[in-house]
């Protein structure tokens, strides 16, 4: 059993705290926050030890989950790695590739495991897609489409002082709402080789960053990708990832319906569903899969359950000395992808990957 501490007692921290209480391979023992009152209240709620000094907490734990705002992920992650403590970081891994590379270097030097939260990989429909692709049921994955029509109220950006600003958030819809689906695209289609994209702010005039972005991708396997990601559709419509194969078959997931949930504020209200399935001989199974997805959703608190699934995978990877399902390198690949889209917009050209920090 791993002793786990939490860094950051804010909104997403409450999800991780609840999830940790359900994972048999972990024991939630400590929480750290720069605000002493918030750390004390959070620790009392979850019956753990409060800290404001991260170095002191690191002496008491085997692993930490970093749930600070993402521009602040690097410092605690690096300090933890240097102390020989394993690190699981909330998405996105960081706002910059330089931070990602510093975190990866620290983990490699100390020999600790570094993972990044992408709990939507653990959705049953997404696992179903991965299994079908790995089994060759769609041939070679050749076209990936990610569409997000979501919404964020102006109050969302006012809820924390760092939101909606380039210097404190690092970006908008691409950085904050899109990483899960960008990760799924990369997981199912493989590394990206070339990216071209543009962004806009459609209807959030008091926010500096993007609320809408579109991009095209060429993957190393020769496949193509399309991204339309937006939080400008009131009250939110859906978010989907579809993968089309070389044999004409397609598989897909609706990861979210309506506006995507806000950690610590709202809950997942609709089940993730297999919404596209044309595998030869299995076309009739779409309704069966959807019934399974709805049953799985009804049996759990989805807002907490999938975080718990990933935390358990991370803990088992440490105990069994195997890579976690979502590694630090996977987290960097997502940051690289949205960084390339921003760079493409800025330089008005396609960007070849990989990118150096």
pLDDT per residue, tens digit, the chain (357 aa), is 999 999 999 999 999 999 999 999 999 999 999 999 999 999 999 999 999 999 999 999 999 999 999 999 999 999 999 999 999 999 999 999 999 999 999 999 999 999 999 999 999 999 999 999 999 999 999 999 999 999 999 999 999 999 999 999 999 999 999 999 999 999 999 999 999 999 999 999 999 999 999 999 999 999 999 999 999 999 999 999 999 999 999 999 999 999 999 988 899 999 999 999 999 999 999 999 999 999 999 999 999 999 999 999 999 999 999 999 999 999 999 999 999 999 999 999 999 999 998
Res 357: pLDDT:
83
d(CA 54, CA 65): 12
Residues of each domain in the chain carrying CATH 3.40.50.720: 2-119
Identify whether the C-beta of residue 160 lies closer than 8 Å to the C-beta of residue 226.
Answer: no
pTM over 0.95: yes
pLDDT for 264: 82
* Domain formed by 2-119, architecture: 3-Layer(aba) Sandwich (3.40)
292 neighbors 286 (Cβ within 8 angstroms): no
Environment class of 153 (CB within 10 Å of its CB; exposed 0-12, middle 13-18, buried 19+): middle
Query: How many distinct helices (H) and strands (E) make up the chain?
Result: 13, 14
Picking from 330, 293, 299, 298, the residue whose alpha carbon sits closest to that of residue 314 is: 330
Distance from C-alpha of 119 to C-alpha of 219, rounded to nearest angstrom: 23
DSSP, res 183 = H
Decide: 5 and 30 in contact? Cβ < 8 Å. Answer: yes
The boundaries of every CATH 3.30.360.10 domain in the chain are 122-300+327-347
Q: How many CA atoms lie within 13 A of 272 on its CB side?
A: 28
C-alpha–C-alpha distance, residues 174 and 337, integer Å: 9
Arch. (CATH architecture) of 122-300+327-347 = 2-Layer Sandwich (3.30)
């Amino acid at each position: 059993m791993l002793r786990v501490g939490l860094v950051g007692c804010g909104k997403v921290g409450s999800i991780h705290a609840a999830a940790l209480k359900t994972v048999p391979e972990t024991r939630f023992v400590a929480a750290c926050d720069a605000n002493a009152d918030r750390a004390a209240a959070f620790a009392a709620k979850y019956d753990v030890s409060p800290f404001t000094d991260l170095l002191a907490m690191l002496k008491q734990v085997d692993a930490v989950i970093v749930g600070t705002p993402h521009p602040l992920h690097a410092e605690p992650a690096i300090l933890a790695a240097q102390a020989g403590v394993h690190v699981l970081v909330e998405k996105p891994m960081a706002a910059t590739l330089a931070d990602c590379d510093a975190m990866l270097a620290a983990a490699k030097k100390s020999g600790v495991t570094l993972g990044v939260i992408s709990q939507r990989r653990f959705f049953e429909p997404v696992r179903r897609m991965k299994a079908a692709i790995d089994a060759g049921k769609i041939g070679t994955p050749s076209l990936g489409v990610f569409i997000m029509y979501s919404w964020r109220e102006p109050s969302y950006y006012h809820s924390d002082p760092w939101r909606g600003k380039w210097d404190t958030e690092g970006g908008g819809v691409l950085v904050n709402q899109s990483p899960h689906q960008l990760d799924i695209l990369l997981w199912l289609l493989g590394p990206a080789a070339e990216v071209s994209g543009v962004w806009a702010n459609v209807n959030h005039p008091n926010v500096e960053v993007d609320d809408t972005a579109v991009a095209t991708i060429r993957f190393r396997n020769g496949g193509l990708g399309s991204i339309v990601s937006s939080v400008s559709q009131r009250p939110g419509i859906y978010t989907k990832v579809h993968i089309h194969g070389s044999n004409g078959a397609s598989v897909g997931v609706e990861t979210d319906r309506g506006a995507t949930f806000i950690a610590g504020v709202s809950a997942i209200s609709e089940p993730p569903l297999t919404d596209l399935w044309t595998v030869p001989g299995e076309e009739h199974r779409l309704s069966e899969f959807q019934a399974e997805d709805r049953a799985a959703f009804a049996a759990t608190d989805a807002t907490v359950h999938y975080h718990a699934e990933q935390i358990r995978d991370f803990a088992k990877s440490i105990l069994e000395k195997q890579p976690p399902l979502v590694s630090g390198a996977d987290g960097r690949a997502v940051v690289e992808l949205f960084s390339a889209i921003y760079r493409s917009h800025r330089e008005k050209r396609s960007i070849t990957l990989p990118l150096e920090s």
